[in-house]
Amino acid sequence: MVLNMAQTWHQSRPGEVRNDCGGCLSHSQKPTDFNLTAAAKPTYVPFDLTRRTPLLTTKKNDQSGKQWDINDETGLRYVTGAFNVEYHRDIKPILQRSCVACHGGKAEEPAGGLVLDDESRQPGQNPPGTYRALVHPKDTKSMRYTWPFQSRNRYLTWRIFGRRTDGFPEKIAPGTESDHAGHLARGGLPFSPSKGSIMPPVDAVKSGKVAPLTDEDRRMIVRWIDLGCPIDHDFDAKNPDRRGNGWMLDDQRPTLTLTYPQAGANKLLTRIVVGMYDYGTGLDMESFQVTADFPIANMAAGTNLAKQGRSKADGVFEFVLPARAPVMTKGTLTVSVCDRQGNTTRIVRTFSVGP
């Protein structure tokens, strides 16, 4: 579970300076000696997050073959590319399989008064009733089951694990209460101690009424909360793989770099080197274009040179030019590529070649 989640972007552009980081990064405590950390060991290999995402799991599902905790109970599994969790695709199926039998709207008295198969939508609101009940309580007196970005201190998490997971005891020590009920309050709503058994109830699982939550089910719910309880308002149940224009939309342009020629003066022009990558939907290589406003070898100006390049490394392409490259006071090279979502990155490089 995420210990602390930054809920806003932190960035500085060239020429800017950020002066309000002292709250967390103050000098009130002795810093950690990097030489004493696991990351400083010669055997530590950094994760390449551009290729796959490492996820904590049980030792049974471990794919790393390494020991990650002192009792060797934790495993690591990998998923290709970015790992996203969304309500309709990932959370709703878990609720239907392991929760709706007791929390169904057709029951005379749904357990705890919580209905987890409510698909109704209020006028002007897109989220279904179940999502609203979990994330957006109707008033301050209603139970808030989840708090986006904060799975450790939410009631839903406590119920599926059968215990508090926020580090606080069931009973707060006298003198530390922040509300009349003796609970630690957050955002005007108190933490309520976890009551009852783990969810789904053991008896309901034994009787075959519901399927148990697996370790991966619980982690999926936790990851969903820590990602901010994402929901795709453009979700199409008849076509669940469709990305649409909702949460699952890839709105990031590909990364594109033109190493050679450099902007400005170049003594020689013997090659063109391009690097590119896309983390979301992946590159659409059919869209890759490299054009020059001057002739190269036997190809006229404006010819797409993309097919003439050769792969030098993963995502790196080189175009070898004739030994006698032209001397130019001004030339323009345009390189562009799209991802499979349709986002385009384009570089227009103006340069000269020769003395």
Domains of the chain are: 46-80 (no CATH), 87-226 (no CATH), 255-353 (2.60.40.1220)
- Helix runs in the chain, H state only: 92-98, 129-135, 155-161, 202-206, 215-226
1 in helix, strand or coil? coil
Q: What is the mean pLDDT of residues 202-229?
A: 94
pLDDT of residue 188: 43
Query: What is the percent of the chain where pLDDT is above 70?
Result: 85
Nearest CA-CA partner of 299 in 282, 268, 322, 330: 322
Structure tokens at 89: 């695709």
pLDDT at residue 180, as a whole number: 45
Q: 133 by DSSP, 3-state: which?
A: helix
Interacting residues of 256 by C-beta distance below 8 A, sequence separation 6+: 274, 275, 276, 335, 336, 337, 345, 346, 347
Dump strand ranges (E) for 278-327.
Answer: 283-292, 310-313, 316-320
Q: Which residues contact 345 (CB under 8 A, 6 or more apart)?
A: 253, 254, 255, 256, 276, 336, 337, 338
The residue with tokens 């002192």 is 70
Task: Please report the beta strands in the chain, taking only residues with DSSP state E, as ranges in sequence order.
Answer: 52-58, 74-80, 185-186, 189-190, 255-260, 264-266, 271-277, 283-292, 310-313, 316-320, 328-339, 344-353
* CA-CA-CA-CA torsion sign (24, 27, 32, 35): positive
- Supply φ then ψ for residue 184, to 5 degrees: -75, 120
Question: Above 80 in pLDDT, residue 292?
Answer: yes
pLDDT digits (tens, 9 = 90+) for 221-249: 999 999 999 999 999 989 988 888 889 99
pTM, two decimal places: 0.79
Integer Cα distance of 49 and 55 in angstroms: 11
Segment 25-83, tens digit of pLDDT = 555 667 788 999 988 999 888 998 888 899 999 999 999 999 999 999 999 999 988 88
Examine residue 193 and say whether the peptide bond preceding it is cis (omega within 30 degrees of 0). no
Yes or no: say if 345 and 337 are a contact pair by the CB < 8 Å rule: yes
